[in-house]
Amino acid sequence: MHYISTRGGMPPKTFTEILLSGLSPDGGLAIPETYPKITSVELSNWRNLNYQALAFEVISRFVDDIPKDDLRRIIQQTYTAEIFGNADITPLKTLEPGLHILGLSNGPTLAFKDIAMQLLGNLFQYQLIKTGDELNILGATSGDTGSSAEYAMRGKQGIRVFMLSPLGKMSRFQTAQMFSLQDENIFNIAIRGVFDDCQDIVKAVSNDHAFKKDHRIGTVNSINWARIVAQIVYYFKGYFAATQTNDEQVSFAVPSGNFGNICAGHVARMMGLPIKHLILATNENDVLDEFFSTGIYRPRTTTETKHTSSPSMDISKASNFERFIFDLTDRNAKQVAQWWSAVDLGKAFDLSASPLFHKTKDFGFLSGSSNHATRIVTIRDIYKRYQVLVDTHTADGLKVGQAYREAGVPLICLETALPAKFSESIQEAIGFEPERPAGFENLENLPQRFVIKDSDAKVIKAYINEHSIKP
Ligand SMILES: *Cc1c(COP(=O)(O)O)cnc(C)c1O
């Protein structure tokens, strides 16, 4: 298995060669040369595997340069009942026949990103011990990525985390979850700006190849391919849990921001998992819904980016979207490079008159958007009908997913966070606060550790220079 760049400018590399970085040298994203195809015999054999065994089968298709026994051990250490709250890891909750919620949010930070990030932490550590190298992780977060990365990397030797977040834009719970970490290898940097400013700084630093090399900069944001791989597993797990036989198709509803989660669903489908529709749900920041309904991909400016009650989806460009467009164009790297040279300057590209726009349907994609009012109504409605409490992001997925529900096709809505993280909106919807899982009762009152910086790559480079591990 080799990896190439969506923009065509990277010689084929192995998994561990792309593991520690996100972007290819040409600015594109790493992607497998071809997707592994799962036979119907394999699919039958996988149906009754537990999460760890299934994860090994899926992940080893993408990772062939870590010895199998080591990979198996890393996966077993990652997906434990202790870390993820129960032995199923991603339990399926059936609201009524044909309508399910796949619970992805039982990890340490109560959001689905833990599923990928916990694996990434262990893979990084394994690789760094092997090479004797060190790593300074630079990341951008709109909330959940940051805490999930920090909880995955805290205390790990040879790793430091520099996490940029938009000052004052995360929920109190999310902020407290990150900033209360006192580990010496964790650096919280609040940026005067929005999430995309943070993401732009990460890109700018990563594009400074000399700095990146000297300071051993790596990334963990959703462009990291290993994260996509880890997320593919639960599409298979959810499929098996919601069906009796492999002749059935299912649809997934996915609350989307950076297109990382649904990109994993796209890859699962390309591998041969019987997915009928991938239903993409956005919030008011509907750049992706706009693309799938009009064919125009028009990144927003930071001032156009809205601060919403599903804040982990507050994006104006979706970094992983480039991987899908690469497949949509039949892997035309030259075309992708051309479109993204415009996107990187904040410009749009327009497929509305191209046959490619209709082809998005052949890939199973449908889309819709939600807003604060529909989100609140959905939370209330799901609670009234099923006595199940969902968070604001999951509600966006449920709202859009239910609108496309078809008789005879199980709909699996991905739960991307627990309601306890967004208690203000829950209070608004049902009149009381959600219960907090044990250990989170006093979170906002803990002492916080963070610095505030301007949105300027130079300033951040200087900070990293001062605090990074010096070889
Ligand atoms: C990150 C996140 C999303 C969006 O996922 P993408 O992979 O960026 O599309 C949705 N909901 C929650 C709670 C998240 O943390």
347-365 confidence digits (pLDDT tens):
999 999 999 999 999 999 9
Query: Which ligand 1 atom sits closest to the C-alpha of 255?
Result: 10
Q: Which residue bears the tokens 């220079």? A: 465
CA of 297 from ligand 1 middle (Å) equals 19
Taking the C-alpha atoms of residue 257 and residue 376, their distance in angstroms, rounded to an integer, is 19
CA of 111 from ligand 1 middle (Å) equals 8
Query: Which ligand 1 atom sits closest to the C-alpha of 393?
Result: 11
Q: How many CA atoms lie within 13 A of 125 on its CB side?
A: 17
Q: pLDDT tens digits for 97-146?
A: 999 999 999 999 999 999 999 999 999 999 999 999 999 999 988 777 88
21 vs 236, higher pLDDT? 236
Among residues 54, 363, 391, which one has the least CA distance to residue 232?
54
DSSP letters for 282-330: E-S--HHHHHHHHSEE-PPPGGG----SSGGG--SS-TTHHHHHHHHTT
Main-chain dihedrals φ then ψ at residue 280, nearest 5 degrees: -90, 125
Instruction: Tell me the whole-structure pTM to 2 decimals.
Output: 0.93
Main-chain dihedrals φ then ψ at residue 33, nearest 5 degrees: -55, -40
CA of 416 from ligand 1 middle (Å) equals 6
CA of 415 from ligand 1 middle (Å) equals 10
**Cβ–ligand 1 contact at 259 (below 6 Å):** yes
Query: Which ligand 1 atom sits closest to the C-alpha of 148?
Result: 15
Give the pLDDT band of residue 470 (cuts 50, 70, 90).
low
Looking at residue 468, what is its pLDDT?
A: 82
Looking at residue 337, what is its pLDDT?
A: 97
Looking at residue 405, what is its pLDDT?
A: 98
| 234 pLDDT above the threshold of 90 | yes
Give the pLDDT band of residue 22 (cuts 50, 70, 90).
low
Q: How many CA atoms lie within 13 A of 66 on its CB side?
A: 28
| 471 pLDDT above the threshold of 60 | no
Looking at residue 174, what is its pLDDT?
A: 85
CA of 143 from ligand 1 middle (Å) equals 9
Catalytic residue among 113, 237, 276, 399: 113
Looking at residue 43, what is its pLDDT?
A: 97
pLDDT exceeding 90 applies to what percent of the chain? 85
Give the pLDDT band of residue 401 (cuts 50, 70, 90).
very high
**Cβ–ligand 1 contact at 455 (below 6 Å):** no
Q: pLDDT tens digits for 268-325?
A: 999 999 999 999 999 999 999 999 999 999 999 888 989 899 988 988 899 899 999 9
Looking at residue 220, what is its pLDDT?
A: 78
Looking at residue 199, what is its pLDDT?
A: 86
Taking the C-alpha atoms of residue 165 and residue 142, their distance in angstroms, rounded to an integer, is 6
Q: How far apart are the first and last CA of the chain?
A: 32
**Cβ–ligand 1 contact at 111 (below 6 Å):** yes
Query: Which ligand 1 atom sits closest to the C-alpha of 261?
Result: 7
**Cβ–ligand 1 contact at 265 (below 6 Å):** no
Q: Which domains does the chain have, with CATH numbers?
A: 88-108+226-430 (3.40.50.1100)
* Cβ pair 384, 396 in contact under 8 A: no
**Cβ–ligand 1 contact at 144 (below 6 Å):** yes
DSSP letters for 12-75: -B-HHHHHT-SB-TTS-BEEESSPPPPPHHHHHHHTT--HHHHHHHHHHTT--SS-HHHHHHHH
| Cβ contacts of 451 within 8 Å, gap of 6 or more | 187, 188, 189, 190, 463
- DSSP class of 419: G
Q: pLDDT tens digits for 25-68?
A: 898 999 999 999 999 999 999 999 999 999 999 999 999 999 99
Between β-strands 411-415 and 296-297, what pairing exists: parallel, antiparallel or unpaired? unpaired
Once rounded to an integer, what is the mean pLDDT over residues 408-433?
95
CA of 256 from ligand 1 middle (Å) equals 6
The mean of the pLDDT values for the chain is 94
Query: Which ligand 1 atom sits closest to the C-alpha of 262?
Result: 9
Q: Please say if 113 is a catalytic residue.
A: yes
* Angular region, 328: left φ>0, alpha ψ -120 to 50, beta rest: alpha
Taking the C-alpha atoms of residue 381 and residue 94, their distance in angstroms, rounded to an integer, is 16
- How are the residues of the chain apportioned to helix, strand and coil, as percentages rounded to the nearest 5? 45, 15, 40
Q: pLDDT tens digits for 236-259?
A: 999 999 999 999 999 999 999 999
Which H or E run contains 94?
strand 92-96
State which of 120, 144, 314, 418 you would mutate to test the pocket of ligand 1, scoring each by most atoms of that ligand within 8 A of its C-beta.
144
Among residues 4, 2, 62, 1, which one has the least CA distance to residue 323?
4
Q: Which residue bears the tokens 């900069």? A: 217
State which of 393, 396, 415, 425 you would mutate to test the pocket of ligand 1, scoring each by most atoms of that ligand within 8 A of its C-beta.
393
Biggest CA pair distance of the chain: 60
Taking the C-alpha atoms of residue 1 and residue 14, their distance in angstroms, rounded to an integer, is 7
DSSP letters for 196-227: HHHHHHHHHHHH-HHHHHHTTEEE-STT-HHH
Tell me whether residue 352 is exposed, middle or buried, using C-beta atoms within 10 angstroms of its C-beta: 0 to 12, 13 to 18, 19 or more.
exposed
Taking the C-alpha atoms of residue 90 and residue 242, their distance in angstroms, rounded to an integer, is 12
